Amino acid sequence: MKNTILLSIALVVVGMMLLVTAASAQTGSVSRGGLLYDNWRKVVDAEAPGNDHPLWATQSTNTRSGADTWRCKECHGWDYLGKDGAYGSGSHMTGFVGVYEAAQTKSVDELAAALKGATNPDHDFSSVLDDVAIADLATFLKEGTIDVRQYVDYDTKATRNANENHGKELYGSACAACHGADGAQINFNDDAEPEYIGDIAAGNPQEFLHKVRAGQPGTPMPSGIELGWSMQDVVDVLAHAQTLPTGEEMALTLPETGGNRLPVTSLALVLSGLLTMGLGLAMLAVQLQRRARLWAGQD
Ligand code: HEC
Ligand code: HEC
């Protein structure tokens, strides 16, 4: 009797562990697919193909070359809409199709097949991506892509139906630790032309939505998909991020120090304070020990 109870408890525990693993593998593959879509070389740690992607030569409007031409997002857009989306004009324009429609109409297997050249032999990524990566990408396309036009007005780049106050709360708890309350703690560009969260949110809301949902390849930045955020949560954070200062605005308000020096300075101060305190304590301990030994007549 006792054995049966123990056995059932053990089975339930193992079963729950399996369920948790299965669930995290499931969501993990969607968000990993999103990271791969952004820049697969930073996820699978592959060598950069030295040449342009074979399909690149079939367009001439986007003049980038080399590694950029192998990124899914460069040909199909941050909004998965290709020529029908934000990359329908500007320096990223290629005229290539989007993937959002295919994601709605095709199965995961068919999407994976397209990544192995089934629809076009030049669209075969199997020499650089293994089956797991291709399955993650296909899963992301099927389950992770969204119609960005529902959330962003493409003419004004403003969010639709966002709750900025809620976004501010989420930003404070999930982003500020790394990016700073004003978004200026991490500079995505150089000192001469700093680029902060405020710049991406205002200038490229499509990219912002993708990065917040999938995370940033090659960094510990968390994925909104894995955190279980709803689209409303992500759009609310975008609305708040659009109120944060851009690099240009920060340069105007902080001409001398630059935006991100203060936190570094205070961190250094705290660290040196702790170090000094530690040293002081150690010296005190040595003194006390000496005194104790003196009193005991050992020295
Ligand atoms: C160099 C540009 C380029 C890159 C990089 C690229 N694609 Fe494509 N993709 C195309 C073109 C062009 C087509 C349409 C040609 C075709 O398949 O007949 C296409 C088609 C597709 C299709 C099929 C669409 C449909 O309507 O059937 C899917 C899915 C797709 N791409 C996903 C991806 C993913 C995921 C990546 C990243 C691993 C990627 N693509 C990288 C250019 C590119
Ligand atoms: C654990 C630290 C961390 C957290 C938390 C974090 N990020 Fe990031 N984020 C990074 C790093 C590191 C980068 C890459 C910086 C670089 O490429 O120079 C980044 C990049 C980005 C980018 C892309 C910039 C670009 O153009 O490449 C955006 C947008 C962004 N973060 C928004 C957010 C938002 C919004 C949140 C909260 C939901 C958040 N991040 C939470 C560390 C973090």
Query: Is there a contact between 224 and 50 (Cβ–Cβ < 8 Å)?
Result: no
Contacts of 27 (CB under 8 A, 6+ apart): 225, 226
- pLDDT band for 15, please (50, 70, 90 cuts): very low
140 CB near ligand 1 (under 6 Å): no
Distances (CA, A) of 282 to 137, 276, 279: 55, 10, 5
The dihedral sign for the CA sequence 174, 179, 184, 187: negative
Q: Is the pLDDT of residue 11 over 90?
A: no
pLDDT, residue 89, reads 97
- pLDDT band for 294, please (50, 70, 90 cuts): low
> Shortest CA distance to 263 belongs to which of 185, 149, 171?
185
Averaged over 194-208, what is the pLDDT? 98
> Shortest CA distance to 226 belongs to which of 25, 37, 14, 66?
25
Give per-residue pLDDT as tens, 122-147.
999 999 999 999 999 999 999 999 99
Give per-residue pLDDT as tens, 167-193.
999 999 999 999 999 999 999 999 999
pLDDT, residue 170, reads 98
Give per-residue pLDDT as tens, 54-113.
999 999 999 999 999 999 999 999 999 999 999 999 999 999 999 999 999 999 999 999
* Residue 243 C-beta-side C-alpha neighbours within 13 Å: 12
- Gap from CA of 31 to ligand 2 centroid (Å): 15
Q: Which residue has its alpha carbon closest to ligand 2 atom 10?
A: 221
119 CB near ligand 1 (under 6 Å): yes
pLDDT, residue 229, reads 98
The dihedral sign for the CA sequence 273, 275, 276, 278: positive
196 CB near ligand 1 (under 6 Å): no
Q: Tell which wins on pLDDT, 38 or 284.
A: 38
Q: Which residue has its alpha carbon closest to ligand 1 atom 6?
A: 72
Q: Which residue has its alpha carbon closest to ligand 2 atom 38?
A: 175
Q: Which residue has its alpha carbon closest to ligand 1 atom 30?
A: 99
pLDDT, residue 24, reads 47
59 CB near ligand 1 (under 6 Å): no
53 CB near ligand 1 (under 6 Å): yes
Give per-residue pLDDT as tens, 230-278.
999 999 999 999 999 999 999 887 655 544 555 555 566 667 667 767 7
Q: Which residues approach ligand 2 with their CB closer than 6 A?
A: 174-175, 177-179, 186, 188, 197, 200, 208, 211-212, 216, 219-222, 237, 241
- pLDDT band for 3, please (50, 70, 90 cuts): low
Phi-psi domain of 82 (left: phi exceeds 0; alpha: psi -120 through 50; beta: other): left
- pLDDT band for 298, please (50, 70, 90 cuts): low
Nearest ligand 2 atom to the CA of 241 is: 35
